Amino acid sequence: MNLDIVREKIGSYLNKNVTVQVYGLRNKNFEYYGVVSGVYPYVFTVLVNGIEKSFNYSDVIIGDVVVKLA
């Protein structure tokens, strides 16, 4: 996958409901439900229960973060 492709894909989710799955270290996995609120050159933000969380596109490329439409 290419960074530009991922950036375009996430950009198409702007202002839409998404599910974000984060696979962390030591089997700590998180799942967030929210709205993609911002798309920037290196990160994108998701508004989850009034709190903005940011994620890197590179984490999407390597599989640590998975974004799906809800």
Residue indicated by tokens 């290419």: 2
Domain count, the chain: 1
Q: How far, in Å, CA of 60 to CA of 49, rounded?
A: 22
Q: What is the pLDDT of residue 66?
A: 97
pLDDT, residue 21, reads 97
Q: What is the CATH number of the domain that holds 62?
A: 2.30.30.100
What was the pLDDT predicted at 1?
Answer: 73
11-69 per-position pLDDT tens digit: 999 999 999 999 988 889 999 999 999 999 999 999 999 999 999 999 999 999 999 99
Task: Give dist(CA 10, CA 28) in Å, integer.
Answer: 24
- Tell me the pLDDT tens digit for each residue of 4-15: 999 999 999 999
pTM for this entry? 0.91
Single-letter code of the amino acid located at 12: S
| Domain encompassing residue 51 | 3-69
Helical segments of 1-70, H only: 3-12, 57-62
